[in-house]
Amino acid sequence: MQKKYVMISNDIRNKILEGVYSANDQLPFEKDLCVLYDASKMTVKKALDILVTEGLIIKRRGSGTFVKDIGPEESKRLIMANQFRGTTASNPDKKITSEVLEFSVIKAPEEVCKQLNVEADCFVYDIYRLRYMDGEPFVIERIYMPIDVILSLKEKHIMESIYEYIEEDLSLSIQSAHRTVSIRKATEFETEKLKMNPGDPVGIAEQVGYLNTGITFEYSISVHHYNKFAVQLVLTRD
């Protein structure tokens, strides 16, 4: 189950990046956030400290907590980083659950070795799961992670948030990902699992994820229900 302070920080972060809270806006006082999130003062403080560390908010003694007025480059970096926090972090107001279809340790196939940039004799977690949002299936994920990078991964972590386990329990920092997006017709299996009609399309996201050390920690292919699939882009002009 997602830690309460993580859920609160995720929700406030999303509201800042979505413009609900604008630059220089004052956030509700801590006592009001305690009521809003039904949380203790210590939990709210821990959530706000995360956002202070990320450079999203600033605490002014005697005045309160305010959204920092960050520049366009920093804003772009934060928006991109937020895309790779995982489904649970991106949807703090939703109940995200998982059905594990497969979970094992295997010798990495050739394509997986190439994507993860590992040796041919490397062993990886092979994770196959169906994810639900508020009880409705929305994505089928196939994930490969090197066992010597993501230590002691268990089924209970796969049932919840793998990214939260990586960052909170292993104290690793997820930095970025390279993602390729495409559309195709759903297979019979995907149609059944995602509760779609024959011939419906699915969104495919192929992703390679990196830690802040530059180490590749994930290669995944996600098959998304067509009406629950969106891609956020950050476009720049040189």
Among 18, 51, 82, the domain boundary falls at 82
- How far apart CA 67 and CA 25 sit, in angstroms, is 5
CA distances (Å), 221 to each of 78, 128, 146, 206, 238, in order? 24, 10, 16, 4, 31
- Would you state the pLDDT for residue 238? 46
Q: Is residue 88 part of a domain?
A: no
Residues 64 and 138 placed together within one structural domain of the fold: no
Residues 72 and 39 placed together within one structural domain of the fold: yes
- Would you state the pLDDT for residue 83? 59
DSSP string, 166-211: IIIIS---EEEEEEEEEEEEPPHHHHHHTT--TT-EEEEEEEEEEE
Q: Is residue 233 part of a domain?
A: no
Q: Is residue 41 part of a domain?
A: yes
Residues 107 and 222 placed together within one structural domain of the fold: yes
Looking at 124-138, 146-160, 169-183, which range is the least confident one? 169-183
Percent of residues, the chain, with pLDDT higher than 90: 53
Q: Is residue 236 part of a domain?
A: no
Residues 10 and 46 placed together within one structural domain of the fold: yes
- Would you state the pLDDT for residue 139? 94
> What mean pLDDT is predicted for residues 167-176?
86
Q: Which pLDDT tens digit goes with each residue over 33-43? A: 999 999 999 99
Q: What is the CATH number of the domain that holds 153?
A: 3.40.1410.10
Please identify which residue in the block is written with the tokens 């309160």. Answer: 64
- Would you state the pLDDT for residue 235? 46
Among 20, 55, 82, the domain boundary falls at 82
Residues 51 and 115 placed together within one structural domain of the fold: no
User: How many domains does one find in the chain?
Assistant: 2
Q: Is the pLDDT of residue 196 over 60?
A: yes
Coil vs helix vs strand at 101: strand
Q: Which pLDDT tens digit goes with each residue over 96-118? A: 899 999 999 999 999 999 999 99
Question: Which residues are CB-contacts of 121 (< 8 A; sequence separation ≥ 6)?
Answer: 107
pTM to 2 decimal places: 0.70
Helix then strand then coil, in percent of the chain rounded to 5, is 35, 30, 35
Q: Is residue 235 part of a domain?
A: no
Q: Which pLDDT tens digit goes with each residue over 69-92? A: 876 666 656 665 655 556 665 666
Residues 121 and 59 placed together within one structural domain of the fold: no
Residues 174 and 116 placed together within one structural domain of the fold: yes
- Would you state the pLDDT for residue 158? 93
CB 164 within 8 A of CB 172: no
Residues 47 and 163 placed together within one structural domain of the fold: no
Residues 11 and 125 placed together within one structural domain of the fold: no
Q: Which pLDDT tens digit goes with each residue over 179-194? A: 899 999 999 999 999 9
- Would you state the pLDDT for residue 236? 46
Range of the domain at 203: 96-228
CA-closest candidate to residue 5, choices 53, 37, 52: 37
Among 34, 52, 82, the domain boundary falls at 82
Residues 205 and 103 placed together within one structural domain of the fold: yes
Mean pLDDT is highest, among 22-31, 41-50, 52-61, 107-116, for 107-116
- Would you state the pLDDT for residue 96? 84
Label residue 50 by pLDDT band (50, 70, 90): confident
Q: Is residue 134 part of a domain?
A: yes
Q: Is residue 153 part of a domain?
A: yes
Residues 122 and 189 placed together within one structural domain of the fold: yes
Q: Is the pLDDT of residue 223 over 70?
A: yes
Coil vs helix vs strand at 160: coil
Residues 59 and 125 placed together within one structural domain of the fold: no
